[in-house]
Amino acid sequence: MRRGWPIAIEAPGEDRLVLLAVETADAVRLDTFAPAGKCPVLISSGRAATLKLTNQLAAADPDLPVVIEPTPWLDFPTATALADPQLDLATPLKGPFRSIAVAQPLAALAAIRLARIAGLLPAYFIDGIDPEVTITPDAIDRHQSASGLMLATRARLPVAGAENAEIVAFRSPDSGDEHVALVIGQPDGTPPLVRLHSECLTGDVLGSLKCDCGPQLHAAIHAIADSGWGILLYLRQEGRGIGLVNKLRAYQLQDQGFDTVDANTRLGFAIDARDFGVAARMLRLLGQDRIRLLTNNPAKVAGLESAGVTVAERVPHSLPANPHNERYLATKRDRTGHQL
């Protein structure tokens, strides 16, 4: 998909769903995919709601992706405008469009998950020439499943704030994501103080003031060192799981006035696409199934608990706001249930 090649998803009991990702297509690729010149477009439920194109059939499931019927004006640039919200306010969408129920709901939902994993906009041309490259929803889900994750290697790593630390790296055969744990201090039989940190290139490396990730990362290392011992998990879930490019698209929408929640929805993603099963598996591979968790996010506690890790205590982890992240922190408090 990243190369702009078509694929087909085959879910049990459904016809194959043949797809060409809008983001990596171009007019020539579209022409090869759909020589007759007209092609339906599949978009996510969130994007359809933003465009007021939710399935017009009364009984439709509001969470299902939506198919936009082909029309002569649904050409490549128009499909790009359906997929990419960055131009929503600048250019009015052509139309009218008619939305219809998707004939392969399982495959369509898997296609939306696959776009997120690929870091692409969740929108596809569908029903073109079958490429005979087939993947299944199972194979897509294995990509992010925790079960194959294994400890790959470990080494001493003194860091600023914790000289007595060890880095442990984890890999899985089904995915390129390499997660790491920083074990600080020596296990002493007490439940470790744990921080689940999701990758944030802009905050962690560039010192972005739009979020609180960088200060939270460093404060967590200090808090764990001060507590005696504990573990920082550095999870490769950039942008709450939508990837760097899509997070930066969300930032562009935030520049237009949308908050962090609405920006994700306009792009067609869940508000938080992370799966904390990976973190639970890492903790278990480190021999820990009872922890104290540094977080303000109840979803992290619930995610770990449902994956079999007992959170004996939630330890708040708030840092002072700055003028650039005030609204972001307020949105977390008011719209995503953070206990700040």
Ligand X SMILES: Nc1nc2c(ncn2[C@@H]2O[C@H](COP(=O)(O)OP(=O)(O)OP(=O)(O)O)[C@@H](O)[C@H]2O)c(=O)[nH]1
Q: Among this protein's residues, is 272 annotated catalytic?
A: yes
Name the residue nearer to ligand X (CB basis): 29 or 332: 332
Of 177 and 199, the one with the shorter C-beta distance to ligand X is: 199
Selected range binding Zn ion among 78-86, 123-131, 142-150, 211-219, rule: CB under 5 A: 211-219
Smallest gap from Cβ 145 to Zn ion, in A, equals: 25
With binding defined as CB under 5 A, does residue 200 bind Zn ion? yes
275 flagged as catalytic: no
Q: How far apart are CA 224 and CA 272, in angstroms?
A: 26
Residue 55 interacts, among Zn ion, ligand X, none and using kind-specific CB cut-offs from 5 to 8 Å, with none
Would you call 66 helix, strand, or coil by DSSP?
Answer: strand
Alpha helices (runs of H) in the chain, residue ranges in sequence order: 27-33, 45-50, 76-83, 105-118, 137-142, 213-227, 244-255, 260-267, 277-285, 298-306, 326-335
Residues that bind ligand X (CB under 6 A): 197-200, 211, 213, 216, 237-240, 242, 247, 250, 260, 264, 295-297, 300, 317, 332, 338
Q: Closest approach of Cβ 86 to Zn ion, in Å? A: 20
Cα separation of 167 and 154, whole Å? 6
Is 239 annotated as belonging to a binding site? yes
**What is the C-alpha separation between 152 and 185, in angstroms, rounded?**
21
Nearer Cβ to ligand X (29/179): 179
Nearest to 241 by CA among 113, 149, 131: 113
196 marked as binding residue: yes
Given a contact cutoff of 8 angstroms between Cβ atoms, the answer to whether 26 and 4 are in contact is yes
User: Which DSSP state fits 93?
Assistant: P
324 is in an annotated binding site: no
List the catalytic residue out of 142, 274, 281, 292: 274
Minimum CB separation from Zn ion for residue 210, in Å? 7
Determine if 211 is a binding residue for Zn ion (CB under 5 A): yes
Closest CA to 280 of 177, 189, 194: 194
Q: How many CB atoms lie within 10 A of CB 322?
A: 12
Residue 313: count of CB within 10 angstroms of its CB: 11
CB of 321 to ligand X, least distance (A): 13
- 200 known member of a binding site: yes
By beta-carbon proximity to ligand X, the closer residue of 110 and 250 is 250
Active site residues: 272, 274
- Residues lying near Zn ion in the complex (CB under 5 A): 200, 203, 211, 213
